[in-house]
């Protein structure tokens, strides 16, 4: 009897221990979802790394550092800018795609080139610009300008087209960027021109040759144009954006200049790795919205010919999908070889 009694008591203890263990596991299981939720609610609790796809001192670096500083003030945490140049920005995008999706690694990037265009420019891209990222917001847009030499007698796109058509080979254009090539090829397609391309390593070399009369025109990003126009070195005949640039209000769009179908705009946006929780994205987007609404931000962007372009994560994703397809068509048109 006594032995049986001890065994029963032992079983009771074991049963109680099992119940306690089950209860503990259940408690942990119930608490587990609330831990990330709590972390999301308290975000950010430490510094955030912002990856810049170009080197220190570049125009891209200046823009990224401006926004990082302002976002840090809004979020109350330090934003560390990490420059990761190389392969036209794709090294940086790969690093973001592979980062932990917790909101502590983001990128502020010229997404039209480092992401959308990259699909068609590289044979083996180490990321998918749609699947591997969570969009936060669009930031700004930048037009390209069709420019001729400051001493040229040409003052409009119509005059340039007429002048080129009078030349046996339809003249020459300078090119140092893929976007400049694509803008020109769209212009040529709309006008029937056969203008030949002359490749340059830098815009500076292009302008030098244009001043010497070796090339007739070039498409370049508008951030460079305003200062050069003031000094009389170049004339801007039109911009490639759907509406006029705020920094070049007197320069017509290509459509206004009578050339439809040449709408090409570079755009900046912010992204986090795919899988970043929605509450974190919402906080980041709200901070970006506040920064973009600041008069000093509008003035800062204006100095580099950018127009503010706030947008929702959904709008950013839709734009990316649309631009990936568009760049595929552009690269085919311009016959640009993949790298």
Q: Are residues 133 and 173 in the same domain?
A: no
Domain count, the chain: 2
Note the pLDDT of residue 38: 74
Low-confidence stretches of the chain (pLDDT < 50) are 1-11, 22-35
Residue 189: both structure tokens together:
């397609």
What CATH number did the domain enclosing 315 receive? Answer: 3.40.190.150
pTM for this entry: 0.76
Note the pLDDT of residue 10: 47
Domain that holds residue 119: 44-142+265-334
Q: Are residues 270 and 310 in the same domain?
A: yes
Q: Are residues 66 and 133 in the same domain?
A: yes
129 within some domain = yes
70 within some domain = yes
CA distance 84 to 80: 13
Note the pLDDT of residue 290: 98
């Amino acid at each position: 009897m006594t032995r049986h009694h001890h065994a029963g008591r032992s079983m009771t203890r074991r049963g109680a221990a099992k119940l306690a263990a089950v209860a503990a596991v259940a408690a942990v299981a119930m608490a587990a979802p609330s831990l990330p939720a709590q972390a999301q609610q308290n975000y950010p609790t430490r510094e955030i790394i912002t990856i810049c796809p170009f080197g220190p001192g570049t125009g891209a670096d200046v823009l990224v550092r401006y926004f990082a500083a302002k976002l840090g003030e809004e979020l109350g945490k330090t934003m560390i800018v990490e420059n990761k140049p190389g392969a036209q920005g794709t090294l940086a995008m790969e690093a973001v795609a592979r980062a932990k999706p917790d909101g502590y690694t983001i990128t502020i990037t010229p997404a039209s080139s480092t992401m959308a265009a990259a699909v068609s420019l590289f044979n083996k891209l180490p990321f998918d610009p749609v699947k591997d990222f969570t969009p936060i917001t669009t930031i700004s847009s930048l037009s390209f300008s069709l420019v001729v030499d400051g001493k040229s007698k040409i003052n409009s796109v119509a005059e340039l087209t007429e002048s080129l058509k009078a030349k046996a080979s339809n003249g020459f254009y300078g090119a140092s960027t893929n976007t400049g090539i694509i803008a020109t090829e769209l212009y040529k397609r709309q006008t029937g021109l056969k203008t030949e391309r002359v490749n340059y390593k830098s815009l500076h070399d292009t302008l030098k040759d244009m001043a010497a009369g070796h090339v007739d025109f070039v498409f370049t990003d508008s951030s460079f144009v305003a200062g050069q126009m003031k000094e009389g070195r170049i004339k801007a005949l039109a911009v490639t954006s759907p509406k006029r640039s705020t920094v070049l209000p007197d320069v017509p769009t290509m459509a206004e200049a009578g050339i439809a179908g040449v709408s090409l705009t570079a755009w900046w946006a912010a992204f986090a790795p795919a899988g970043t929780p929605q509450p974190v994205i919402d906080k980041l987007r709200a901070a970006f919205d506040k920064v973009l609404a600041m008069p000093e931000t509008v003035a800062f962007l204006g100095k580099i010919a950018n127009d503010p372009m706030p947008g929702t994560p959904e709008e950013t994703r839709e734009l990316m999908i649309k631009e990936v397809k568009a760049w595929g068509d552009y690269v085919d048109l311009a016959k640009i070889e993949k790298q």
